[in-house]
Structure 1
Amino acid sequence: MNKYFLLSFVLLALLFSCSKDEKELFPDLRMAVTDKVSTVAVNTEKTFAVNIADGKTLSNEWILNEVVVGKETSYTFKPTLAGDYTLVYKGSNHLGSFSYTYQINVPVPVIEPGANSSKYISRVFEYLPAPGQHINQATVGSPEQAQKLVGSIANSVSLGGFGGYIIFGFDHSVKNQEGADFGVYGNPFTPSFHFSEPGIVMVSQDKNGNGLPDDEWFELAGSEYSKATTIKNYEITYTNPKAAANVTWTDNQGKSGEVINISRGARNYYPLFAANQDKITFKGTLLPSTLSTSGLITNAPFEWGYTDSYSSGDDYATKGYNSFDLSWAVDKDGKKITLKTVDFIKVYTAQNVNAGALGEISTDIKGAVDLSIK
């Protein structure tokens, strides 16, 4: 009897000891996508998921660039903007936690040139000039005239005073190659009677893939960009006189003035096709005046990096256009930016100068050319 009792006690002790040693373990997890580095195109989907073994339940978190975006066992990533993304999965319960990190590259959409691609402008997206002597003239200062830049370098459109701009693109992405990448045509006068009307050029990529110039802009920094005489973040506001009269302006430097109406009352210089018919504001980089009124009125060009400028450093005399290199691109803080391609180009008048009897300095543009296409 004692033997049986002792044997039963030993068996119970062994059974109790075994159950005590069997610890509950954190579940085995398997990621459906195991590659930690991947590429996903803009506006396309890729699903990431976790498989949890043993029927266990976990608290799930998907974290995209440090923001929680999901709490299920799967997450569908659909980027609306090119860039680099970090996606982290975290699973946890009272027994522990698990994490898995993905690096996802979403490249900027690129439209490759085809056999029939044009080297000239294929689309004018926006034309909004500042007030000026040619504005509201059908043949040089109207939206209809701006559209004539498509496929041609034979027509001309005025951008008016400081800040007036035009935005255009080609039927393909412009690639950043060795040396100059594209050219912009203007109509500056030769050194025998120097009269340039310099415009700054900006570029943008179609990072959201919607075909519209609504992404970040980068200035192509020309010869004057870093000089003390150049004013960054300049802002000017013009007021519509609602008559054929001088157009008044004020700026963020505490100055004010007028765009002088030299047409003897022929028309209003304020763009009558602008959305706001009371006031209009432009922002950008202001280049210093190069005006001389000693003898003939002249306006000297800058060395390189601006359009409608008879630049010696750009060899305008030989080429007939100003050249631009995408490697000059800088962001709003002046930091150099590497762009492999661009899809949109913006040109705006970069001086705020009254040239007396010749009117305001206003950049003219006749077209543009992708220098990689012959």
Structure 2
Amino acid sequence: MDQTFSVIPLAGVPFPRAEYERRQQEVLGVVAGAGLDALLVTALGHARYLTGYYGGGSYFGPFPLILAPGHAPTYIVREYEVESVRAYSCINEIVSYTQERDFAKVCGDVLRRYGLENKRIGLELRCWNLTPSDVYKLEAELPEMTVVDATELVGSVAAVKSELELDAMRNAMAMTEVAVRSFQETLRNGVTESETWAAMQGAVKKTGGEELRLVSLVFGERTKLAHGLPSDHAINSNEPAVTEIGGVKFGYAAGLVRTAVVGRHPEAETLLALSNEALDTAIDVIKPGVTAEEVDATVRKVIERSGRPRAFRNKAGYQTGINWSERGNMDMVPGVKDVLKAGMTLHMPIMLFGEKGHIIGCSDHILVTERGAESLSGAPRTLYRV
């Protein structure tokens, strides 16, 4: 399998060149369908999906990947990062600029060379890694260019996973489940969040895991934090604990939310039961052809029937993949009419607010199949009690 495009040791990309070429061609298809002449991909997750490059150097300036029919995919990057981009991506055509102030001129020169200076160009305007200043300078460089918001185009292709991607997701989930077991086994009266987090990381490393990504790990009163990071706060008797974590393989993260209690905590137990009921109801309706807003609506109906309409203040779920998720990818929220397709992966965290502010819930990571929803996880969603 031809996976490496650089002679630098331990560099390269995780998938064969043909996989990246397939993705690029599918994106070019939706670019043409949107009436665009080219697309500048700037969102880190979308660029990584199309090239393999993890995007570390783009912190200091935009690194657009130019996709245009009839031209090789072209990366515009800082000169300092050229060798890293070459080593960690499948892109051969790399054009560099020296400092951030040079970006618009260099990018504009490439677009002119490709005959695109007066064409309709898609930019990911609602994603990270592209500032209003970047757009204004590029428009000043190419005043006849028409900029179109193309935020959702790459995500619409990346939503449906290949078998190679699904293998990565399943491997990532295996690491997530190792971390969940460690979370549960470590809990006891007096243990701190930091101690539990260290145990979770250690367990994943011991089993050969690539990375464990943390979204939240909180105990007791700190479960009122939506995305709380571990501290030296200890859990006491009759307090809840909540974690949202995900193992990672080749950049693909498989997240899960799990709740536990040391002793008893009636409100946490009630909220978790409601979270599970809403999640089960949503999973039952998931199949190809159902819209994102329909899945979200099933969750909201269960919450409303419970008499706790203000308990649910989030979304029913979202599309997952590289970088866990990416701004501009599909969310399951009211008004989103995107249709579910076989091969999509969805993280569905149903997090509920209690009357005292505790945020309690659980999640499942779903693969959409022709037969309906298939969970990527075998870890029970029920309350873990110490």
Common topology (TM > 0.5) = no
What's the TM-score once normalised by structure 2's chain length?
A: 0.29
Q: Which has the greater radius of gyration? A: 1
Structure in which a larger fraction of residues adopt strand: 1
